[in-house]
Each structure stands twice: as C-alpha cells, then as structure tokens.
Amino acid sequence: MWVLFAITTSIVNAIYYLCNQNTRLSTSVFMIYRGFVVALLAVPFLSVYQPVGAWQFYAIAILQGLLVSYNDLQYLKTTRRYGAETVSSITPLSVAVVFGMWCFIEPMILRKYMSSPVRSLCIIAALCGIVYALMQYQRVRLSKAAFIMLIPVILVSTIVSVCNKTIMNYAEDSAFGLCWWRVFVTSLTIGIIHLILYIKRRENVADLTAKQNLIGTWIFILMPMSMVSKNMAMFYTANPAYVEAIVYMSLLWLMLFNRKLHFIKFKKMYMPMNKKWALLMLVSAIVLIVATH
C-alpha cells in the first residue's frame, strides 16, 4: 500500500515543480503563501474529521513546521551560492540518513533485516541505486563547501521524515483525517514563521494581497495532495527511507513530462538524464518494491 501513495506523491510533486516554473511569485511571498494557502485548503476537511486528541501530535506537527521553515531558508541560501544542480545532487543522501536513523529509533526492524539477509541486501542495494542515480543526474562537480553547507539541510530533512512516520502513530479514528490535521497545523506554522520574517525584513506587506500574486496561488492546490499521500505512505511503510527514495523519483517523471508534454511551454527544461542512470533508478525502484513486500 505504501508504494501506491509514494508513487502518487512523486508524480504530484513532479507536476507541482513543472507548474511552479510558470509562476512569478517572489521567494518571500511564495513561502508565506505556501503556509497560509495550504492551511486554508485543509480547512474543509477539518470539519469532517475530529481533531486529534494527543498533544504529542500537535507538538510534532508544529516542530515539523519550524524545521521545514528553517530548511527552506537554508536550501535557498545554498542554492543561490552553489546552484540548484549542485544542491539537488547532494540532498538525495538524506535517504541513507533516514534509513540509518530509523534503524536506530526502531531497533526491532534490525532483527527483521537480520532474519532475511538476502532481502535486506536487496533493499540496501536498491536504495543505494536510487540515490546514486539521482546524484549522477546533474553530472556536476560536487563541491565540498556545498556539501558542508547542506549537512544541516540533510539532517533536518531526516528529522522531518522521521516525524512524518512517527506522527502517524497518533491516528485514532482515521489516518486520513490525521493527515489533514497535520497539513493544517504544519502549514499554519510555516506561514506564521515566514510572515514574521517577512515583516522583520520590512518588505512590502501590500505585495501579499496584490492581485498578480493571488492569481498564482492556484499551484498550491497540489501541495496538500502531496503532503497527505506522503503521510499515508509513511503510515503503511516499515521504514520511511523507502518512501523518501520513491518520492525522489519525481525527477524521473519530470524528465518524462518535459519530453512528452510539448504543448506546455516551460520556462526551463530540465537536463535530460543519461539513459543508464534512468534505467538504474527504475530497476532499483522495482527491486525496492519487490523486496519490501
């Protein structure tokens, strides 16, 4: 079941990235909208599903919002300095860190891996294959300085992924309902943090309600879909690293969409991936799916 939700997330993310290319929102306005607009989109579902009773759920959801806000800023800072290609070649390493951290948090899973060594080796090889293919995609010379600067991003992304898995333990009547409450709380936190930073920088508050900016909010319809499907994938998976690996494969769908959807005029066409890396990623994903079932 986790595979279905993880693949859905990766496809929705790919569509979101492509649509995002055609928006003209400034980075600071985009971050605020990403929080408040997504939280607003979750509101209709809150009347359908009862609030989660455990206070731990809200603590984790707010923590996720704080961590994501930090990662957004650090990611942008690194991208401006070293380029998006370099950054996107390093961040897939978070899959390996998530795998190791979850084994540390849930030692029982180590027993399962040890009881099925062949299957476990297939899982590890598949994860390594996906990560290596992703890192080879841009074919850029990796910078040691960029890697050091991205270490906090990788670690924070790992914590967010572990939180995504852990928070699903507090599902009471409906895991799906918990996902929407998580979307609301986390997104609201992100919006508040970025709004505070926006005001602190003394940027033009009028831009937040400018018509040309509000028109661009349509792309955020995809974000709660991605967040909910990813959390549902986390609910069913044994290790959140599996989900992260498949979600990163949105790059594969991006290549496919860029090659086939000629009727859409994109601002930037992503660099075509060498076929051998695309094949390695696809084969690794199939091995991962088979080995984890």
Please state, for a pLDDT cut of 70, what percent of the chain lies above it: 92
| CA pair distance 61, 182, nearest whole angstrom | 6
Which pTM does this prediction carry? Answer: 0.89
pLDDT value at 263 more than 50: no
| CA pair distance 272, 254, nearest whole angstrom | 10
Give the model's confidence band at 82: pLDDT under 50 very low, under 70 low, under 90 confident, else very high: confident
Range of the domain at 246: 2-291
For 41, residues 6+ apart whose C-beta sits below 8 A from its C-beta are 183, 220, 221, 223, 224
Give the model's confidence band at 139: pLDDT under 50 very low, under 70 low, under 90 confident, else very high: low
pLDDT value at 176 more than 50: yes
pLDDT, averaged across the chain = 88
Looking at the structure of the chain, the number of domains it has is 1
- The two structure tokens encoding residue 17: 């990235």
Please state, for a pLDDT cut of 90, what percent of the chain lies above it: 58
